[in-house]
Amino acid sequence: MAEARIIDGKQFALGLRARVAKKVWSLKRDFGVTPGLAVVLVGEDPASQVYVRSKGKATQEAGMASFDHRLPAEATEQQLLELIERLNADPAVNGILVQLPLPKHIDTARALAAIDPAKDVDGFHVVNAGKLAAGIPGATIPCTPLGCLMLVRDVMGRNLRGRRALVIGRSNIVGKPMAQLLLQADCTVTIAHSRTVDIAEECRRADILVAAVGRPELVRGDWIKPGAVVIDVGMNRVSTAEPGKTRLVGDVAFEEAMQVASAVTPVPGGVGPMTIACLMLNTLASACRAAGAPVPAEAAP
Ligand SMILES: Nc1nc(=O)c2c([nH]1)NC[C@@H]1CN(c3ccc(C(=O)N[C@@H](CCC(=O)O)C(=O)O)cc3)C=[N+]21
């Protein structure tokens, strides 16, 4: 069989960001509104600093206002909550992203709950998670699952009715909302996790396989149904033969998957860029709702 198609998330994300930028301009023109995204980083984790920088860059490239807020690693929970309150009250801020993970002395659930659900562009607030689960329109969809669904539809078409989907991982950030989206798209959805009895066998039934567990190359070629679409959310840094050098690998053994699947996302260049593009889309959508402007259809799949 021919090798699978490599799903170019980087290219798709560039296109999506261009569509967002266009709508940002028309929102400015027609409603006099410039969307704004505030990113809050607590502490100095180098990986987080890299993400925060690329989010700020993408925000500005989309024509939106970017607000950076840094708190020291020793900042108290109270200080973070006060900052979130100020951002909630600031009309120039349409989206608030509190970079995770937070330092251990801060209660993540409490911080996320403090964000105005209308400004929760991550879609992590229980109000947005609940709306997604209950099928209530107007929910903000978490960026990574939304981006994954876009890539699946790009390959398989919009209609996913009756497809068997397996999501590996049950996090609130990726696994659970991913399963909800696929369910809403009329897939038959299974969620596998660390206590699943035979993950390989579950995988072999799946037409759509989304791996989001953070275990390097967990999914092997012989776990994959021939012709399946494989979405790899994993971003694992592993050491290489060269001392001190690391390499980024997904949760899927990419080369093996390429021999069996019909389409596979690479790592990097797959899901990661889609996460950022969907963050731009969600920020635009929040600004549209605040201005009473029509919300882009892509934000409500
Ligand atoms: N509140 C919150 N929201 C987030 O969305 C959030 C977060 N916290 N904490 C950290 C994770 C991580 N994350 C990434 C997004 C894009 C890439 C990305 O674009 N990666 C590129 C490059 C990867 C590389 O080379 O390092 C790629 O996959 O091609 C990576 C990681 C968002 N996160």
CB < 8 Å & 24+ apart, contacts of 195-202 = 199/168, 199/223, 202/166
Q: Report strand pairing: 246-249 vs 236-239.
A: antiparallel
Residue nearest (by alpha carbon) to ligand 1 atom 4: 99
**CB contact set of 161 (below 8 Å; sequence gap of 6+):** 185, 186, 187
CATH class of 143-272: alpha beta
Short-list 89, 99, 143, CA closest to 121:
143
Catalytic residue among 23, 120, 122, 131: 122
For residue 71, the surrounding DSSP H or E stretch is strand 65-71
- How wide is the angle at C-alpha 261 spanned by C-alphas 255 and 264, nearest 5°? 65
Give the largest CA-CA distance in the chain: 58
Concerning whether 122 is annotated as a catalytic residue, the answer is yes
- Report domain extents, the chain: 33-117, 143-272
Ligand 1 centre to CA of 209 (Å) is 20
In angstroms, rounded to a whole number, what is the distance separating the alpha carbons of residues 191 and 172? 12
Instruction: Give the 3-state secondary structure of residue 240.
Output: coil
> What is the pLDDT at residue 2?
86
Instruction: Output the ligand 1 site: residues, CB below 6 A.
Output: 51, 97-100, 122, 143, 235, 248, 267-269, 272-273, 275-276
Check the annotation: does 66 bind a ligand.
no
Radius of gyration, alpha carbons of the chain = 19
In angstroms, rounded to a whole number, what is the distance separating the alpha carbons of residues 301 and 138? 11
Same-fold call for 33-117 versus 143-272: yes
Question: Of all atoms in ligand 1, which is nearest to the CA of residue 279?
Answer: 5
Residue nearest (by alpha carbon) to ligand 1 atom 10: 100
In angstroms, rounded to a whole number, what is the distance separating the alpha carbons of residues 115 and 208? 33
> What architecture is domain 33-117?
3-Layer(aba) Sandwich (3.40)
Write the CA distances from 184 to 149, 161, 167, 243, integer angstroms. Answer: 11, 9, 14, 46
Residue nearest (by alpha carbon) to ligand 1 atom 23: 268
Concerning whether 90 is annotated as a catalytic residue, the answer is no
C-beta neighbour count of 147 within 10 angstroms: 29
In angstroms, rounded to a whole number, what is the distance separating the alpha carbons of residues 284 and 23? 8
C-beta neighbour count of 146 within 10 angstroms: 25
* Mean pLDDT per 10-residue interval, the chain, length 301 residues: 94 98 98 98 92 96 98 98 98 98 97 98 98 96 98 98 98 98 98 98 98 98 98 96 94 98 98 98 98 97 88
